[in-house]
Structures are given as structure tokens and as C-alpha cells.
Amino acid sequence: MDRYEIRLSGAGGQGAILAGIILADAITKADKFNVAQTQSYGPEARGGASKAEVIVSEKVIAYPKVTKADFLLALTDSALKKYLPDLKKTGSLLIDEEVFIQDKDLLPKEVIKIPIFKIARDQVGKIITANMVALGAMTALFDFIDKGEIEKVIAKRVPTDTVELNLEAFSAGYRFIVE
């Protein structure tokens, strides 16, 4: 794999950045690829919006940020509107099934719609775990991530008494793709 650019985006507090950090951490630990991870919020990302970027490559990563994304996770209408233009046409888009697609012409060949928030709210019981549902789906979609490795990182990165809940959300998202 030469260079694979992943962008995770959403509104503030939805946990897109935490999901990106966990993703990057787990790929780094597997020790097969070079990984670069950056994040941004604040003025650039209005209204507390946030994004995390993860670059994965077998080669040295000269530039650590997304130039043209291979994969985009967009948790809100605004995030999709903002970042869809920078997604490759040959790339993949992961969105909640109810996110509004304004520019249909910009859609890449692969669009994966999942009831991310519905699963988090109704199946897991905590809408706040939506980021882990999305991370589970991404783990099932990517062939360069080890599921067990991600689960270990989740257990380390979330508050102790929410580990079980977060892992349940992760599994629910994973299963939605795999089953």
C-alpha cells in the first residue's frame, strides 16, 4: 500500500477525533505500516466541528495531512458538504444513513450507508458511542487493520467504566458490515 488517506469528520463532541486517534494508534502498534495522524478543530472547523486525519503507508510519509482522501467518514450534513469535494472519485464514503447528500455528483464509487446513530442509540443504548460504531464499520471495511489490536487500544483509551459499552458499540458497527 503506497499511501492511503483517511479523514474522519463530525460535529464537536461526536468523537471523530478520538476514533481517528484510536485508529492510528492501533495501526501503529501492528507495526506493518507508517502512520501519520493529525486533527483539527476551532476556527477552521466552525461550531466545534472536528476532523481527524490518518495517513497509512508502507513508505515514508513525507506529508502528514490529507491531500485527496481515499476514505471519508462524515457524521453530519455539514461535515459531508465540507469534505466530499476532497474525496477521490475512486475512494469510499461512510455516512450515517440519514445524512443529507447535497452534491450527488461528487459521490465516490463506493458509498456505505449505516444507521450509525440508530445502532448507538437503540442497540447499544448510548448515542455517545456512535464514533465506536463507525470505527467498528471502518475496521471491517479496511484490510490493513487488525480487529483485536483496535479493541485493545479502545480498552486503553476510553474511561474505565465505559470500556464494555464502547467495545459493544465497536462490535455492533463491525458486525453490521461483516454479517
> Which residues lie near a second copy (CB under 8 A)?
10-15, 41-43, 46-50, 75-78, 95-96, 98-100, 116-118, 120-121, 127-128, 130-131, 159-162
Pick between residue 70 and residue 96 the one whose CB is nearest to a second copy. 96
Would you say 153 or 169 has its CB closer to a second copy? 169
Of 6 and 165, CB closest to a second copy: 165
Of the two residues 150 and 169, which places its CB atom closer to a second copy in the complex? 169
In the complex, minimum distance from the CB of residue 23 to a second copy, in angstroms, rounded to a whole number = 18
CB of 165 to a second copy, least distance (A): 10
The residues, any chain, with a CB within 8 Å of residue 43's CB and separated by 6 or more, are none
Contact 30, 62 (CB under 8 A): no
CB contact at 8 A, 99 and 116: no
Least separation, in Å, of the C-beta of 46 and a second copy? Answer: 5
Alpha-carbon distance of 159 to 70, in angstroms, equals 31
Rounded Cα distance between 25 and 149, Å, is 9
CB of 99 to a second copy, least distance (A): 4
DSSP state for residue 175 in the 8-state scheme:
H
Q: Which of 137, 124, 101, 138 is nearest to 24 (CA)?
A: 138
